[in-house]
Each structure stands twice: as structure tokens, then as C-alpha cells.
Amino acid sequence: MAFSDQALTIEDVLLNKNTLRVIELENDYVQFNTSNNLSIKTVSIHNLLGRQLYHFTGGSASKTYKLSNLNSNVYIAKVELSNGGVISKMAFKK
């Protein structure tokens, strides 16, 4: 067996809390916007029990999705960004 003298590290991706904005629009549409020259790789929507309800791919700094199957409740949006960072935000659907 061979061992390396290099330590394993995890590089933390620092993200400002305002890097991601979630905006509820009319007719069950929700818009996700990023800043700092980042784009959205994926978006997943979960209920409070952790069950994934939606999973979308991104590709730009602003994406709009139709979330028609969601009732009025609290949900968690988990967004993976182009720099590898992941931001989770809680949102209330009216």
C-alpha cells in the first residue's frame, strides 16, 4: 500500500446571500436570477419533508419555470451554480 503526503482538502465556494434571487411571477411561474457572472446549472424544488418535486436544468443567469403542481406552502429551492456552489433558499408559494 502506498500513501501520499498530500492532505485532502475541500475548497469552499464562498457565495453572497444575494447571489440568488427567487421571484414568484403570475400564473405559477417562478424566476431564478443569479449575479456575479454566474449561471444556473440545475434547480430542484423540494417540499419540507425533503421530497424532490421538480428538477430543471439551467444554462443562463436567469431562468423561469412553471411550477403549476405546487399548493400554497413552504418549499426549498436548491440551485447549483456554474462555479460549483449550491444555494438553498426557502420560499413560500402564495
What's the CA gap between 24 and 18, in Å, rounded? 16
Of residues 63 and 2, the one with the higher pLDDT is 63
Cβ partners under 8 Å of residue 11, min gap 6: none
Q: Is residue 13 part of a domain?
A: no
- The sheet carrying 52-57 orders its strands as 52-57, 40-46, 73-81, 86-93
Q: Is residue 59 part of a domain?
A: yes
Q: Is residue 49 part of a domain?
A: yes
Residue at grid coordinates 403542481: 69
Query: In CATH, what number is assigned to the domain containing residue 77?
Result: 2.60.40.3080
Q: What is the pLDDT of residue 19?
A: 87
How would residue 15 be classed by pLDDT, with cut points 50, 70 and 90? low
Q: What is the pLDDT of residue 9?
A: 46
Q: pTM for the complete prediction? A: 0.78
Domain ranges, residue 88: 18-93
Give DSSP secondary structure letters for 2-67: ---SSPP--------GGGEEEEE-STTEEEEEE-TT--EEEEEEE-TT--EEEEEE--SSEEEEE-
Q: Is residue 1 part of a domain?
A: no
How would residue 50 be classed by pLDDT, with cut points 50, 70 and 90? very high
Q: How many domains does the chain have?
A: 1
Q: Is residue 37 part of a domain?
A: yes
